[in-house]
Amino acid sequence: ADEDEELCAWLQQKASLTQRVVHKVLPKLHDENVYDVSGLLALHSIDGLGDVFSRVVAVQVADALDALGNLPEHRRARAAACMEG
């Protein structure tokens, strides 16, 4: 699907994943109802990247998502949650 192409391209270009890794992880992303980058952001916001990606790849994806600059509220919320916990 076109939406998969967009997600695959983003994962390869921004998160530096290989095509092989991307194709391996797509079905897992679909299981989580993630079909685009905003879905990845949502998964990241609930700390779900580690459920889908290996640990190293999850860090690469998280860094790429953080670089989008879309997560200032998320960072604050997470910092607050860490302090409460």
User: Dihedral through CA 82, CA 45, CA 49, CA 19, nearest 10?
Assistant: -140
Angle at 68 between CA 45 and CA 37, to 5 degrees: 60
Asked if pLDDT for residue 83 goes beyond 70, the answer is no
Look up the pTM and report it: 0.76
Over residues 1-23, mean pLDDT? 91
Per-residue pLDDT reduced to its tens digit, 21-79? 999 999 999 999 999 999 999 999 999 999 999 999 999 999 999 998 755 554 444 44
